Chains A and B, each alone.
Chain A
Amino acid sequence: MSKTASFLPGMLEMLILKAVSLGPAHGYGVLLRIEKICGQAFEIEQGSLYPALNRLEHRGLLSSEWGLSDNNRRAKYYELTVAGEKRLKIDSRRWTRLSQAVAGALKTKPEEI
């Protein structure tokens, strides 16, 4: 088994929203940011980023615009929409609750039952 974890459904989208919420970013930039904020905990198949971005834009959570990247190339920059912000807030609250519950559950000792 590799030491990196794989994603649960919906997690990649949530992380993308979080990454973009820190400021507009192009596709590769989003990838770097996720790697940075997750501390290499996950291995992302880089190609799968793009269908996820498309899905989010399709759902109106992201908007995109063409711009110049730092190496002076044309790049597509993604930005959070109002609906995206709302979705991120809801998702992170839900995630926190879920992970606390799961963590608590896993810490349960036999005598606590």
Chain B
Amino acid sequence: MWARLRSWIHSVFHRQRFEDDLSSEFRHHLESRTRHLMQEGLEERAARLQARREFGDPEAVRQSCRQARGLYWTDEFRRHVSFALRLLRRHPTFAASVLLTLGLTIGANTAVFSIVDGFLIRPLPYPEPERLSLLMADLETPRGPAQTWSHGGRIWEVIRDQAEGLEASVFSSWSQGGNLAVGDWVRHVNQGRVGAGYFSVLGVQMQAGREFSPQEDTTQGEAVAILGLPLADRLFGGAQQALGQEILLSGQTRRIVGVLPAGFRSPYGEDVWTPLVPSRRGEGSGANYDILIRPAEGVTLEQARAQIGLLQAPLAEAADLPPEGYSIRYGLAPLQTDLIREIRQPLLILWLAVGLVLVIGCVNIAGLLLARLGRRRRELAVRASLGGGRAAVLRQMLTESLVLAALGVLLGVGLGYLGKEGLELLAQESFSLWQPVDFNLRVLAATALTGLLASLLFGILPAKQALKLDLRQALSQGGRGMGGDGSHRFRHLLVVTQVALSVILLIGAGLLLRTFLHLRGLDPGIDPAQVVAGKVSLADARYKDAESVRALYNRSLTRLRSTPGVEHAGVALTLPYERALNLGFAMQQGEELGPGQVTDVVYVTPGFFRALSIPLLQGRLFNERDDSRHPPVVLVNRAFVERYLGDRPVLETGLATMGARRQIVGVVGDVQHRPVWGQVDSPLGAVATLYVPAGQSAEALFNFAHRWFSPSWVVRSKLPLEQAASAIEEAVHSADPLLPFSEFQSMESVMAESWARQQLQAVLMLVLAALALLLAIVGLYGVISQAALQRRREMGIRMALGAGRGQAVLKVAWPGLIMALLGTAMGAAGAWSGMRVLNHLLTGVDAHDPLTYATVVILLLGVAALASLIPSLRLTRITPSEILRNE
């Protein structure tokens, strides 16, 4: 086997030498023979002739030798390829339409696959990534099942103290903003918070220094930090130089003990890390920690799972669930699964969609090849009868498909690269693309495989059709004969399939578009025009007490209000269209408090509502007197009134939150929030919200909330947005020069960001669906215009016999309409039963939304009618006499 393969490869690649060798071998034979014969007494001329005669036809011998070496097939293949290329050059329109279709569809598949590869297939950039897991829990609640990857401090203590054979560390996956100051260089940085041993569990070696010790990961521990290499280079000119240096991070001086290596990548995008200092209190009292687990050396993943299984009882106890209706089960989930949770489904749906487009494109090409087959019957019949037979024709056809596919793959790789770059640009705004997406061997191999599959898809059917060729008929009919009835029916079936597939894609795209439009069309409850917001991290040692926070707000807002052009200014913990802080509260019932509940809570300064034009519906807004010296008050929104107060008189009701009983003094309009799980089943919603004056916020709230949220300064002004932004920056810097802003955004862009993901999904699906529609319509048009051409003569005769033009046109166009109807019906039915896959991505629209289905059906039938009528209308231009004269 090997010997043959080696010999074959050798002869293929040293083809010229093989031929030369044969020549000299033959020459040597003839010369020796001649000499031999001369020795036997023949004269030279006669001897030479005799030698030649005895040898036989050298060309035939040579051919047999080639065959002996397995070169026959490669020779034939080469001939077929060059013939296929010639054929393409001779029919540039055909070549262009096929290659464009293939290039676009293969390119789209390549682009999407490169993203799929980067996220779903490529392992995480850490050693033995498949062993890295997160502790996760399946939760049964009265509202239904849920999963959680975040845990409280007590859960961590159970894992740390009782689990055996596991390397575990705790971290916060909510990376927070930090204010980094070195000398007078001040910048906003992303601060990660990790427990001792985190990097060794991850499997990452420090570039310099070490990671946090258990001692440093406690409240008594020294204030230390780890830097990413880029920041170490930027600040100190290298990893070694950074060790032992001090930085001022969020008002606290920290000593650098370690620097991460170049190329370290993390999904959370941190610049600097500090010890987490896990505890049962504060953030540790809620589910705010992630627990990273790697089985110790020699322990299998299965054993690790079993170990977690043994700890169910203590873990469940530590989870401290409400007694009624809740149960919890802990397990291990691969880290990768967690990291791709948000991107996985949209990506798989996109992949499915480009796959469908590829199929539609291939169907189109199959149609084109079938049509061409009709025109080539004579050529193929001649070929088959001259030798090689049907098998040779089949090989010829398949080679042509392969050549098309190969060219399509080349084009597809190029277009796919561009598409990948574009996708990356579009996607990075709504998904965190932390792994590089590149064109590796896997992507190229997948593209080649796609091309091969495509060539089979569009090549097999025409080839099968070619096998049915009736030689005698094809030869006798001359060039006029087209594919028989069978091939017609077949092309019609292809068109119906195409229409059905594109209807499915169009409906999917329509539903995603409706989702996006729904989100964008939600009543914002604010007037976003001319509003700018800037965020500052106050998770800062200098803002631990409430007075300093309030002083910062008062000083900066006073200055802002005196800036010419500024109309209203305020500060809020979170903005509309963002996720808000969840806190507990209880309604006051007489002197008693009702049961504890959880809702969105936002602290604001008095100017906030006017800056965003949030309407006051009842009572009053906050004013400067709502401070710690006056009775605690609270504002609620309409959704809160509807949900918790019903018909009770709002303004006489009190409630308790953040350790104080507060009087409700007014009701404001709803704004959109990004709900957390369980509040509203939608990416945006009018969540019941409590507004608390910043002047009456407890110190504990500030500390608690600022760990996760950077408060926003909001300004409504007559100024251009950049000027308003710099006014905010100046005002805050006049109060504290060491507070960097992380970002400034217009309120409109805050809103746009909240639906960016749905917009991206809708746009991508629309592009693909449009491509599919175009391909399907081109296919339909092709079939009808070919029919119109073929039936010219028949129609001419009919017209001569008295049929109207309209009748003739309809007769030709009719099959197109039937195909469109059939395809649309099949597609709509398919979508109806299959659209469930989109359920998670849809909001404000049902997967069986009648409007979307109706619109798509009407659109498709309309376009299909045009595509059928336009080519048929050509028949109106013919006159019967002209047709009959041509006969």
Contact = CB atoms under 8 A, between A and B. Distances in A.
A109 interface: no
B723 interface: no
Contacts of A31: 29
Contacts of A99: none
Interface in B38-56: 54-56
B65 A51 contact: yes
B314 to A, nearest CB: 69
A102 B577 CA distance: 97
Contacts of B7: 57-58, 60
Contacts of A52: 68
A58 B68 contact: yes
A4 interface: no
Nearest to A66: B21
Contacts of A59: 3-4
A58 B69 contact: yes
A60 to B, nearest CB: 3
B25 A27 contact: yes
A71 B35 contact: yes
Interface stretch (A16-24, A73-81, A90-98): A73-81
Contacts of B67: 51
A28 interface: yes
Nearest to B3: A60
B734 interface: no
A6 B25 CA distance: 25
A8 to B, nearest CB: 18
B70 interface: yes
B28 A26 contact: yes
B838 to A, nearest CB: 58
B419 to A, nearest CB: 46
Nearest to A31: B29
A50 interface: yes
B68 A45 contact: no
A47 B61 contact: yes
A51 B28 contact: no
Given A47-B57, A47-B61, A48-B56, A69 B24 contact: no
Contacts of A108: none
B61 A28 contact: no
Contacts of B61: 47-48, 50-51
- Interface of A, helix, strand, loop or mixed by DSSP: helix
Interface string B53-85: 011111011001101111000000000000000
Contact of B55 (A46, A71, A83): A46
B31 interface: yes
A24 to B, nearest CB: 15
B814 interface: no
Nearest to B63: A51
A54 interface: yes
B199 interface: no
B56 A45 contact: yes
A89 interface: no
A28 B21 CA distance: 15
Interface in A31-84: 31, 45-48, 50-52, 54-55, 57-60, 69, 71, 73-76, 83
Q: Which of A51, A55, A69, A76 has the most CB of B within 10 A?
A: A51
A63 to B, nearest CB: 10
Contacts of A76: 21, 24-25, 28
A47 B55 contact: yes
Contacts of A51: 61, 64-65, 67-68
Nearest to B32: A28
Contacts of A54: 64-65, 68-69
Contacts of A28: 28-29, 32-33
A69 B55 CA distance: 19
A73 to B, nearest CB: 6
Given A27-B25, A27-B29, A83-B3, A58 B70 contact: yes
Contacts of A74: 24, 28
A59 B5 CA distance: 9
B8 interface: yes
Given A59-B3, A59-B4, A50 B31 contact: no
A27 to B, nearest CB: 5
Interface string B485-501: 00000000000000000
Contacts of A75: 25, 28
A55 B7 CA distance: 10
A73 B27 CA distance: 10
Q: Which of B21, B33, B65 has the most CB of A within 10 A?
A: B65
B28 A27 contact: yes
Contacts of B6: 60
A48 B21 CA distance: 16
Contacts of B69: 54, 58
B4 A47 contact: no
A37 B65 CA distance: 25
B26 interface: yes
Nearest to A61: B3
B453 interface: no
9 contacts: A27-B29, A28-B29, A50-B22, A50-B26, A50-B29, A51-B64, A51-B65, A60-B3, A73-B28
List 8 tightest A-B contacts by C-beta distance, closest first. Answer: A60-B3, A47-B56, A51-B64, A54-B68, A47-B61, A55-B68, A28-B32, A54-B65
Given A69-B28, A74-B24, 6 more contacts: A50-B29, A50-B61, A51-B67, A58-B68, A60-B6, A75-B25
